[in-house]
Amino acid sequence: MRRKLIAGNWKMNLGLNESGVLTRKILGKVNPGLLKKTDILICPPFVSLALVSGIIKDSGIKLGAQNLHYEKDGAYTGEISASMLKSAGCEYVIVGHSERRKYFHETNNLVNKKVLQALSNDLKVIVCVGETLQEREDDIFESIITEQTEVALKDIPSEKMIDIVIAYEPVWAIGTGLNAAPEQVSHIHALIGNTAEDIFDKNAADNLRILYGGSVNKDNAKEILSACGVDGALIGGASLKPDDFIFIAEQASDIN
Ligand code: PEP
């Protein structure tokens, strides 16, 4: 069985002090037994990474960033490189979140470049894929998700697939309070697993963790996390509430 991963995406919320406060609250609620069974990852804004890294040091909680630039370094004013994230203590980075695809026009090819840069700096990557409401209604969501997955994984050496996590996040479910039904989630997770198997092999697909994201909260987490093929969750809004976030991680741990 794959280890569950509960990841919190804080998005553009919380300044330095508030990030420290939230991190300490999360830390205070995590018991060591929980981390034996489930990975817990928090992804604060860039400016809080180093501070949060210091607070969670040796706790077992993992640190991730929400984005990176696809080049190694250079004249890219305002951007953040993979090695900078590493130096701030990150183990993970989220790539291709739908908010970046929508507001910053990130394409599948750009996502792939970011994935490759992250991997070459030994960062683990959470690649986000998911269809818009229009794409679901037009019944093209399977081909959209297959293409997003195929392009994101292009040119990845198979031995690096162990550092990839995919998050299925239907765009219409993010921050809306709407959820995909468990059977819809399982269907897409199987599609993503089959796509990975077609590109690589069964072993890579068997080891690939696939998260669900989209309005996961303390009330619906158990049902979603119990669905076939769900290896955890990427959580936005509820990750800012320490009680709820840890409660969701405990639900994941109970299912293991
Ligand atoms: C997300 O940002 O990845 C997300 C799933 O947000 P929310 O949980 O708020 O829908």
Kindly report the number of other CB atoms within 10 A of residue 214's CB atom. Answer: 27
Class of domain 4-255: alpha beta
Question: Rounded to the nearest 5°, which phi and psi values hold at 78?
Answer: 85, 0
Residue nearest to atom 2 of ligand 1 (CA): 236
Total residues belonging to the chain: 256
pTM over 0.95: yes
Does ligand 1 lie within 6 Å of residue 215's CB atom? yes
CB 224 within 8 A of CB 182: yes
Distance CA 255, CA 143 (A): 31
Q: How far is CA 167 from CA 6, 59, 76, 83, 197, in A?
A: 11, 25, 28, 23, 17
**Closest by CA position to 126, among listed 52, 41, 222:** 41
Active site (annotated) includes residue 169? yes
Q: What is the pLDDT along the chain (256 residues), one digit of tens a residue?
A: 799 999 999 999 999 999 999 999 999 999 889 999 899 999 999 999 999 999 999 999 999 999 999 999 999 999 999 999 999 999 999 999 999 999 999 999 999 999 999 999 999 999 999 999 999 999 999 999 999 999 999 999 999 999 999 999 999 999 888 889 999 999 999 999 999 999 999 999 999 999 999 999 999 999 999 999 999 999 999 999 999 999 999 999 998 6
**Ligand 1 test: best mutation among 216, 220, 239, 241, most atoms within 8 Å of CB?**
216
Kindly report the number of other CB atoms within 10 A of residue 57's CB atom. Answer: 10
